[in-house]
């Protein structure tokens, strides 16, 4: 097998495309022939030693991928060679093959495209847990999605629409705004040009959004929170912009609003039954055509430098795939 190996986590430039012995799966594992892996923001942080989980060296980055089961460990039940599957974790995806614990493998429903499966569970799972579970989104509410053209953001736009809400997509340029309208957003705000507070006042008749979905953080967070509606819910998902915002505590008091933390990885670990229900609803919505990842680009697995550069420079719209 071949894999991008990280033995010096100083950035993507230190990754090496390496020939490795193809591993036999341990008793509880399956070996997957990888079809495609998607790039998620944490993949960027992991190879820079900046992510909260620090894998032991050397490791193969790549937190989400799809493929076909090629070999089974002796104790594995319920999966067979040839099954089409996807999996999420922290490592392993930027390679031709990976051995994964069978418990972490998601068999794909018939008709679920392998490209889509490589870029689905991480972002759609996060946004579904955030909006439906943590915010308790109700039909007819208004949702503001920040970073709406990114992976988590684009999933949030589609999920909020599937849940019967009105969606305002905020993103940093006109091309991304147009992309978000294509995803189903009812209106957009160009945060690179418009004043967020003024634009939100106009878009909501002064009421403000009921729910704010924020995978970006940074300087827009406080302005967004100041615009939130009475009894609003502000979803803290990530800090792609870098700085972690700090908020004066009088603001949630004045709005009767909640700041709601979202940690999807721990939700998956701590609440496996709720996670399976969330995934089942998403698979159902996928079958009905209500959600579908928008593939930004399909690059060969060898083009990892180009893929990381595209994400770091905020060019990715939807999901970027590395394909074998």
**How do 258-261 and 97-101 pair as beta strands?**
unpaired
Least Cβ distance, residue 212 to ligand NAP (angstroms):
14
CB of 48 to ligand NAP, least distance (A): 12
* Among 64, 107, 52, CA closest to 84: 107
The residue among 22 and 52 lying less far from ligand NAP, judged by its C-beta, is 52
Q: Is the CB of 32 or the CB of 170 nearer to ligand NAP? A: 170
Question: How do strand 97-101 and strand 64-72 relate by DSSP bridges?
Answer: unpaired
C-alpha Rg value of the chain to the nearest Å: 20
DSSP string, 164-182: T-EEEEEESSHHHHHHHHH
Least distance (Å) between residue 11 CB and ligand NAP: 14
Please provide the DSSP assignment of 33-57 as one string. Answer: EEEEEE--HHHHHHTTT-SSS-PPS
Smaller CB separation from ligand NAP, 172 or 278: 172
CB of 258 to ligand NAP, least distance (A): 16
What minimum distance in Å lies between the beta carbon of 170 and ligand NAP? Answer: 7
Determine the length of the chain: 324
Round to whole Å and give the CA distance between 116 and 101: 22
Decide whether 70 or 194 has the Cβ nearer to ligand NAP. 194
> Of 98 and 216, which CB lies nearer to ligand NAP in the complex structure?
216
In whole angstroms, the minimum distance from the beta carbon of 51 to ligand NAP comes to 8
| Phi, psi of 200, rounded to the nearest 5 degrees | -70, -40
Q: Which residue is nearest to ligand NAP (CB)?
A: 150
3-state helix, strand, coil in the chain (%, to 5): 35, 25, 40
Give the binding site for ligand NAP (CB under 6 A).
Answer: 40-42, 123, 126, 147, 149-153, 171-172, 176, 215-216, 237-242, 262-265, 311, 314, 316
> Shortest gap between Cβ of 2 and ligand NAP (angstroms)?
25
Q: Where are the beta strands (DSSP E) in 39-112?
A: 64-72, 84-88, 97-101, 105-107
Measured from the CB atom, is 216 or 299 closer to ligand NAP? 216
Question: Strands 97-101 and 84-88, how do they pair?
Answer: unpaired
């Amino acid at each position: 097998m071949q894999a991008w190996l990280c033995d010096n986590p100083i950035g993507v430039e230190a990754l090496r495309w390496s020939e490795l012995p193809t591993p036999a799966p341990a008793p509880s594992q399956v070996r997957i022939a990888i079809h495609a892996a998607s790039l998620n923001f944490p993949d960027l942080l992991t190879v820079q030693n900046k992510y909260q989980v620090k894998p032991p060296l050397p490791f193969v980055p790549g937190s989400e991928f799809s493929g076909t089961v090629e070999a089974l460990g002796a104790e594995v039940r319920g999966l067979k060679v040839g099954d089409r599957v996807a999996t999420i974790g922290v490592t392993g995806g930027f390679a031709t093959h990976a051995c994964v614990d069978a418990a972490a493998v998601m068999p794909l429903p018939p008709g679920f495209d392998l490209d889509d499966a490589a870029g689905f569970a991480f972002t759609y799972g996060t946004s579904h847990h955030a909006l439906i579970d943590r915010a308790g989104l109700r039909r007819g509410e208004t949702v503001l999605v920040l970073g709406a053209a990114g992976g988590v953001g684009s999933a949030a736009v589609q999920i909020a629409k599937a849940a019967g809400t009105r969606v305002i997509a905020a993103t940093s340029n006109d091309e991304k705004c147009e992309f978000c309208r294509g995803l189903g957003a009812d209106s957009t705000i160009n945060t690179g040009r418009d004043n967020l507070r003024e634009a939100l006042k106009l878009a909501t008749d002064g009421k403000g959004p009921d729910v704010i979905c924020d995978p970006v953080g940074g300087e827009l967070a406080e302005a967004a929170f100041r615009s939130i509606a009475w009894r609003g819910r502000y979803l803290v998902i990530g800090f792609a912009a870098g700085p972690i915002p700090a908020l004066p505590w009088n603001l949630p008091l004045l709005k009767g609003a909640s700041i709601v933390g979202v940690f999807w990885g721990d939700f998956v670990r701590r609440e496996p039954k709720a996670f399976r229900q969330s995934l089942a609803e998403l698979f159902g919505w996928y079958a009905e055509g209500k959600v579908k990842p928008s593939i930004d680009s399909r690059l060969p697995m060898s083009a990892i430098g180009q893929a990381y550069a595209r994400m770091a420079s905020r060019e990715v719209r939807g999901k970027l795939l590395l394909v074998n």
